[in-house]
Structure formats: C-alpha cells, structure tokens
Chains A and B, each alone.
Chain A
Amino acid sequence: MSMAYSPTAPGPDESAHARPPRGLGRWLLTTNHKDIGTLYLLFSLLMFFVGGSFALLIRAELFQPGLQLVNPHFFNQLTTLHALVMIFGAVMPAFVGLANWQIPLMIGAPDMALPRMNNWSFWILPFAFALLLSTLFLPGGGPAGGWTLYPPLALQTGEAFPFVILAIHMMGVSSIMGAINVIATILNLRAPGMTLMKMPLFVWTWLITAFLLIAVMPVLAGAVTMLLADKYFGASFFNAAGGGDPVMFQHIFWFFGHPEVYIMILPAFGIISQIIPTFARKPLFGYASMVYATASIAFLSFIVWAHHMFTVGMPLAGELFFMYSTMLIAVPTGVKVFNWVATMWRGSMTFETPMLFAIAFVILFTIGGFSGLMLAIAPADFQYHDTYFVVAHFHYVLVPGAVFSIMAGVYYWLPKWTGHRINERLGRLHFWLSVVGVNVLFFPQHFLGLAGMPRRIPDYALQFTEFNMISTLGAFLFGFSQLLFLYNVIQTIRSGEQATDQVWEGAQGLEWTLPSPTPYHTFATAPVVR
C-alpha cells in the first residue's frame, strides 16, 4: 500500500523541483499546502495587528469618561470592524493556516486534497478584507451597527452596506472552500493504517470544525442576502411594516453565530491536546472521550442559539429550553478540561513557551467558560445582557482562549517549519507580559458589567472610571507585548539554533519524523502507520 502518490498531479517539471520557485509568482500561484499555510498565517498576523489597533483606539477612548479621541459614530465603526476583522480575519484564517500546514503532515498526506481550490480560498481573503476596510473611507464611513448586523440598525448603514455584505459573502466562500478541502483531505488522503481513531486530536477537531463551517456559513450568507434584499429590493424579511420581523434576524444570525463560536474554539482544543502530552511526556488522557466530547459540543451548538437573545421576549418554555441545553455544554467541555489536567497529572512536565501558553489556555478558558455558565442562567442574563460582563466573557474565551492556542501552536510547530529553534527567553517574556496584560485588560470588565456598564458605548458614567483605566492599561500592555511575538517569529524564520527532527523531547506523531525544516514536498511516499 505504501506507494508513491501525489494528488497534485505534478507536471514532469514541477515534480522534479524539490525547492520552491522564486519570486512573487511562487506565492500567487502556489498550490503547496505549506506555502498556503504560511500565507494564511501571515495574513492572520497582519489582521491581528489591524484589529488590535482598532481595539487600542477603543480602549484609549474609554480611558476616561467623556469624548476625547473619536466621535461616537467612528467609535461604533471601530467596535464593528474590530469584531469582524478579529473573527473572520485573524482567528479563523490562523486556524485554517495551521490546518494547511499540519493536517497533511499529521496524517501522512503529500498535500491537501484540492490544491488549486486551496490557493483560491486563500487569495479571496485579502480582497474581502480590502473591500471591508475600504468602507472606512466611504462617505458615511464603515459599518457601525455591530458585527451582528441586527436590523433595522444595520439597514441604516450608508454606502458601506453593500460592500460589507459582499465582503462577508467572500469570507464565507473562502471558509466553505477551506472546509471542503479539509474534509476531503482527512477522509481520502490518510496514510495506510491511519484509522480515524488514530488521528491526532488536532485533525479530529478540525474535521468536526469543517462540518460546522459547511453547515452554518451558508446560513450566514442567506441572512446577509436577506438584509441586502430588505435594503435594496423592497423585501420585508425583517421589516415589520411589510409583515416581517426583526427578531427573526436574530434567530437566523445566532443559528449561524453559536456554531461559529465553536468554529473558533474547537481547533484550539485540538492544538492544546497536541501540546500538553508533549510537555507532560504522557499520552493524552482519554483520547476517545476527547473525540466524543468534541462531537457532542458540535452537536449541542445547533440547539442553543437563543441564549444570545434571552431578553427578546421569548416565552418561558423557550427560556428554559435554551438555558438547560446551554448548561449541558459544560459537561463535554468539563470532560476536556479534566482530561488535560489528568494528562499533566504526574507527568514529567517542563514549561517551554508552547506549554506555558497551553496551561494558561486551560485556566483562562475555564474562567471564560464559568462566566458563560453565569450568562446561561436566563434570569441572571436579564441583568448581564449587553453589559461589559458579556464583553469580558467572550474576550476570555477568544483571547486567552483561541488566540493563546494559536500562539502556542505557532511556537510549537515553528521550529519544525523553519528548522530553527525559537528564542525561548523572548518567548517566555512574551508569555508573561501577555498573560498579565490580558488579565489586567479583561478581568475588571467583569466588575464593570456587573455594576451595569453597557457595552458598545464611547462614554460612560463616572463611577466606572477606575476600572476602565485599569482595563486600558492592560490593553496597551497586552497589545504592545504582541510585537515581541512578531519579532520572535521573524527572527526564528531568518535564523536560530538548528532544531532537531523531533524538536521537543516528548513530541510524538508523524510530523516529527520529518526533517526540520520540512522539505517543500513531504510524504510523496505515504508512511505506514501501525
């Protein structure tokens, strides 16, 4: 079975090249999963800094009450674009980039199953975001109604509106093509002997994430198309005057939106499940239960959407159903957290940079999970709804959750990709500044929310001043610490101590059997997994 096979169907000249072609054409025309993974990751890093500078502007404005730096309309554009850029531009492409690099290496495939489509899914993204960000320069400015695009407010967006909708459609097309590619690769290109239940957890979580993407990105596309129809074609999907209902948009949006939040966290679970066993030098505790827990979380994500809208005036039965189904998610999530802790239990642990980020992920993501449980309690949510408590909650799961896992993954696999060890001292400094910064930034926001500070406001009542100042200081500490990450990544790409093939002492899996740096073409002959 272990025969040479390449699904890229290379021409006679291309297969002869062990090294990539030079120049810009390499990046524009590439069908190599490693090149495309790199493009995704660099694009995501760029968007992380764009979205981050929006965030710092927001926090700078909120340093004191009153209006100092920006006018309220621009402030609303900042919050809207910060969310859209971070979700669709930073977190999701980073996970797709990691998937492109790692899935073929981890399952012993020579490339992704559909390499040309892979190129297209990446190259749509820069155009989508150029379109989205260009709206800032249109008369009337960019979208300012919040990333959730609730009508009728979102329908009051000016000339930016059709640009935003088209940009979202393009992001959706890119995600769907990426998901199709991931599923086809995992189902068809696994090395002989790599059964489903032998796959590394990062591959498993991405397989499930890809199915979620296929299921809900088209629903988002439908929802924004209906908005477009309401605004320009006289339809009344969400217009009460024409017999529509604006609350229906919230139902459709969150039917997409809740699975979407798991799209942003399941691959993170996968990365953490690769890193912790490596540095605890023990196999992952409860592999099968991890797989089933991931699948359960994915299933539950489809029946909990209305917990984002407890205050719209749902009947009691609805409130109770969505409250209990939401709380049920804590069970599989708890299984995962306990499995990570059990993996570390009595392990020979060492604390290199990826492991530090992974441990911080487990602790801080769990804090975000607990505030999520508080929000799941429908009667309590009537107080927390649309306050900074919600902001604190989702930033805890997305920043020290998803973003930390991405950084952990990059620190973990970068030596394999580049052949250079990372600067460990700088990595640890980056970790400690980030973990302190992120908590100073988001922890006070819990208290602001409980005290009643609403989200999405450029000005606030005087009693919220101190905690907002603390939060802003944390934001600048966290934001500027990320330059260390940028510097460390660039330095590791350019030079550094030669990494061994295994890189990390406890690392297990197919990718660590390859030379460091990984050759341009790998597993042209499929390995045999026993």
Chain B
Amino acid sequence: METQKSQVLSANRRVVHRLLLAVAAMFAFGFALAPLYDVLCQITGLNGKTGGRVVVARPVAVDETRTVTVEFVASLNAAAPWEFAPKVTRMAVHPGQYYQTQFLARNLTGQALTGQAVPSVTPGPAARHFQKIECFCFNRQMFQPGETRAMPVTFMIDPELPPEVRTVTLSYTFFKLDDAGG
C-alpha cells in the first residue's frame, strides 16, 4: 500500500511539474507574440507599417505608362493640441519617380511641444512598395509656442507595386510625445 501511495504521489508530482512548465512556456509565448507579430508584419507588410524605414535612393526606371493616385490623410491622436493637415490631399504619381509634398502643423498651445508622426499605408500590401526618402516622421518634431511649420516628405512608389493597386493612402497620426510614454 505504501509503495502504491508513493507511486501515485510521484506521478502527481510529475504531472504538476510538466503542466507548470507548460504554463510558464505559454506565458512566455504570449510575450513572444509581440516580436513575432512585428517580424511577420515587416516581412509581409500586412499592417501597413512603414515607419522608421529609411530607404536608400536607388535609380529605377520611371514607369510613365502607369498612374497611381496617392491620398494623404492626417489625424491627431486623442486630444493632441495641434492643427495638422496635408498641403494637398491627393496626387497622381508615376511609379519610380520621386515626389515631394508637405504636411502643415501648428502648435495650438502657449508651450513648447514635441510630437511624433506615425505613418501607415493602406492597402497593407502596398506598404513595402511605398518608399520614403525623407520624412518628418523619421524624427521627433519640436514646436515652439504657437509655431506653424510645413514638414516635407519625399517618396517614391516602387514600380513593383502590385498592378491591381490604383490608389494608395498614406496616413499620419500625430502623437504628443510626453503623454505617449516615449
């Protein structure tokens, strides 16, 4: 009877140890999903993220036969105290050609503010073909009290953009940095 009892006890201990290990592994897996998600999105461009990717200018043939409409959208996060709008809301562009446009921002407060624009491209699969050579979203933007500034973005649509995509929307959301948690 004693041996049977200790057999069951050690079997219980084995099961508990394995299951606790599984719990720890799944807890870690939950956190691992964060970098995995970023990697997956970077490879596939699924979530339209283009932010922070500086693209080295390389010469590609301009495709004059194809015209793509690029739309510009500007929005503010929560109650960020800026006025923020694109200078033009749409452009007709040829893939392979560089273009520049500007976004206008005005600090509505009497204090110096720092903001950061986060870009997003729709449709998602177009994101990795939308190349920004120069962008105000690469840096934090300091604004003096009441300052108005035009911020440039230089971009090119890669000729490898899937042929079914005729319109690409570039959206910027402007965040106030100190309340965004850095």
Binding site for B on A (CB under 8 A): 3-5, 7, 9, 113-114, 152, 176, 179-180, 183-184, 187-189, 214-223, 226, 230, 234-237, 239-243, 245, 247-248, 251-252, 255, 313-315, 318
- In the complex the two chains form, what is the Cα distance from A487 to B182 in whole Å? 57
Pair A221/B19 contact, Cβ less than 8 Å = no
The smallest C-beta distance from B59 to any residue of chain A, in angstroms, reads 30
Binding site for A on B (CB under 8 A): 1, 4-5, 8-9, 11-12, 15-16, 19-20, 22-24, 26-31, 33-34, 37-38, 41, 44, 46-49, 51-52, 77-78, 116, 118, 122, 124-125, 173, 175, 177, 180-182
Pair B15/A219 contact, Cβ less than 8 Å = no
- In the complex the two chains form, what is the Cα distance from A237 to B37 in whole Å? 11
The 7 A-B pairs with the shortest beta carbon distances in the complex, nearest first, are A222-B30, A241-B175, A241-B180, A218-B27, A218-B26, A219-B30, A234-B181
- In the complex the two chains form, what is the Cα distance from A217 to B27 in whole Å? 8
Pair A239/B180 contact, Cβ less than 8 Å = yes
- Chain A contacts for B4, CB-based, 8 A: 3, 5
Known contacts A222-B30, A255-B33; decide if A243 and B51 are in contact (CB<8 Å). Answer: yes
Pair B175/A5 contact, Cβ less than 8 Å = no
Contact partner of B33 among A179, A230, A252, CB < 8 A?
A252
- In the complex the two chains form, what is the Cα distance from A237 to B8 in whole Å? 44
Pair A5/B5 contact, Cβ less than 8 Å = yes
The smallest C-beta distance from A148 to any residue of chain B, in angstroms, reads 16
- Chain B contacts for A4, CB-based, 8 A: 1
Contact partner of A243 among B15, B27, B52, B125, CB < 8 A?
B52
Pair B180/A242 contact, Cβ less than 8 Å = yes
The smallest C-beta distance from B128 to any residue of chain A, in angstroms, reads 12
- Chain A contacts for B52, CB-based, 8 A: 243
Q: Which residue of A lies closest to B22 (CB)?
A: A214
- In the complex the two chains form, what is the Cα distance from A114 to B28 in whole Å? 26
25 cross-chain CB contacts under 8 A:
A5-B4, A176-B23, A180-B15, A180-B19, A184-B12, A184-B15, A188-B8, A189-B8, A216-B26, A218-B27, A219-B30, A220-B30, A222-B28, A222-B33, A226-B31, A234-B182, A236-B182, A237-B34, A241-B116, A241-B175, A241-B181, A247-B47, A313-B47, A313-B124, A315-B46
- In the complex the two chains form, what is the Cα distance from A51 to B15 in whole Å? 35
Pair B19/A5 contact, Cβ less than 8 Å = no
Pair B118/A184 contact, Cβ less than 8 Å = no
Pair A240/B175 contact, Cβ less than 8 Å = yes
A219-B30, A240-B77, A241-B173 known; 6 new pairs, CB 8 Å cut-off, are: A3-B4, A188-B11, A222-B33, A248-B34, A251-B37, A252-B30
Pair A251/B33 contact, Cβ less than 8 Å = yes
Contact partner of B177 among A9, A226, A241, A314, CB < 8 A?
A241
- In the complex the two chains form, what is the Cα distance from A304 to B12 in whole Å? 33
Most buried by A among B26, B44, B124, B125: B26
Q: Which residue of A lies closest to B7 (CB)?
A: A188
- Chain B contacts for A235, CB-based, 8 A: 181
Known contacts A189-B8, A241-B177; decide if A318 and B46 are in contact (CB<8 Å). Answer: yes
- In the complex the two chains form, what is the Cα distance from A187 to B13 in whole Å? 12
- Chain B contacts for A7, CB-based, 8 A: 5, 8-9, 12
Known contacts A242-B180, A245-B49, A314-B46; decide if A219 and B12 are in contact (CB<8 Å). Answer: no
Known contacts A239-B180, A251-B37; decide if A5 and B1 are in contact (CB<8 Å). Answer: yes
Known contacts A7-B8, A242-B181; decide if A313 and B48 are in contact (CB<8 Å). Answer: yes
- In the complex the two chains form, what is the Cα distance from A358 to B31 in whole Å? 41
- In the complex the two chains form, what is the Cα distance from A39 to B47 in whole Å? 47
Pair B20/A180 contact, Cβ less than 8 Å = yes
Q: Which residue of B lies closest to A3 (CB)?
A: B1
- Chain A contacts for B23, CB-based, 8 A: 176, 214, 217-218
Pair B19/A183 contact, Cβ less than 8 Å = yes
- In the complex the two chains form, what is the Cα distance from A377 to B138 in whole Å? 40
- Chain B contacts for A221, CB-based, 8 A: 27, 30
- In the complex the two chains form, what is the Cα distance from A215 to B78 in whole Å? 36
- In the complex the two chains form, what is the Cα distance from A240 to B31 in whole Å? 17
- Chain B contacts for A315, CB-based, 8 A: 44, 46, 124-125
The smallest C-beta distance from A453 to any residue of chain B, in angstroms, reads 28
Contact partner of A180 among B16, B31, B47, B181, CB < 8 A?
B16
Pair B173/A248 contact, Cβ less than 8 Å = no
- Chain B contacts for A247, CB-based, 8 A: 47
Q: Which residue of B lies closest to A230 (CB)?
A: B181
Known contacts A4-B1, A214-B26, A221-B27; decide if A242 and B8 are in contact (CB<8 Å). Answer: no
- Chain B contacts for A189, CB-based, 8 A: 8
Q: Which residue of A lies closest to B80 (CB)?
A: A241
- Chain A contacts for B29, CB-based, 8 A: 218-219, 222
Q: Which residue of B lies closest to A213 (CB)?
A: B23
Pair A245/B47 contact, Cβ less than 8 Å = yes
- Chain B contacts for A187, CB-based, 8 A: 11, 15
- Chain A contacts for B1, CB-based, 8 A: 3-5
Pair B16/A114 contact, Cβ less than 8 Å = yes
Pair A222/B27 contact, Cβ less than 8 Å = yes
- In the complex the two chains form, what is the Cα distance from A67 to B12 in whole Å? 56
Q: Which residue of A lies closest to B23 (CB)?
A: A218
- In the complex the two chains form, what is the Cα distance from A4 to B116 in whole Å? 71
- Chain A contacts for B12, CB-based, 8 A: 7, 113-114, 184, 188
- Chain B contacts for A215, CB-based, 8 A: 22, 26
Pair B118/A241 contact, Cβ less than 8 Å = yes
- Chain A contacts for B20, CB-based, 8 A: 180
- Chain A contacts for B47, CB-based, 8 A: 245, 247, 313
Q: Which residue of B lies closest to A215 (CB)?
A: B26
- Chain B contacts for A216, CB-based, 8 A: 26
Known contacts A7-B12, A180-B20, A187-B15; decide if A248 and B37 are in contact (CB<8 Å). Answer: yes
Q: Which residue of A lies closest to B29 (CB)?
A: A219
Most buried by A among B15, B20, B30, B37: B30
The smallest C-beta distance from B34 to any residue of chain A, in angstroms, reads 6
The smallest C-beta distance from B130 to any residue of chain A, in angstroms, reads 16
- Chain A contacts for B5, CB-based, 8 A: 5, 7, 9
- In the complex the two chains form, what is the Cα distance from A390 to B182 in whole Å? 37
- In the complex the two chains form, what is the Cα distance from A299 to B72 in whole Å? 43
- In the complex the two chains form, what is the Cα distance from A176 to B12 in whole Å? 16
- Chain A contacts for B181, CB-based, 8 A: 230, 234-236, 239, 241-242
- In the complex the two chains form, what is the Cα distance from A187 to B19 in whole Å? 12
- In the complex the two chains form, what is the Cα distance from A2 to B60 in whole Å? 82
- In the complex the two chains form, what is the Cα distance from A239 to B179 in whole Å? 11
Known contacts A5-B8, A241-B175; decide if A222 and B31 are in contact (CB<8 Å). Answer: yes
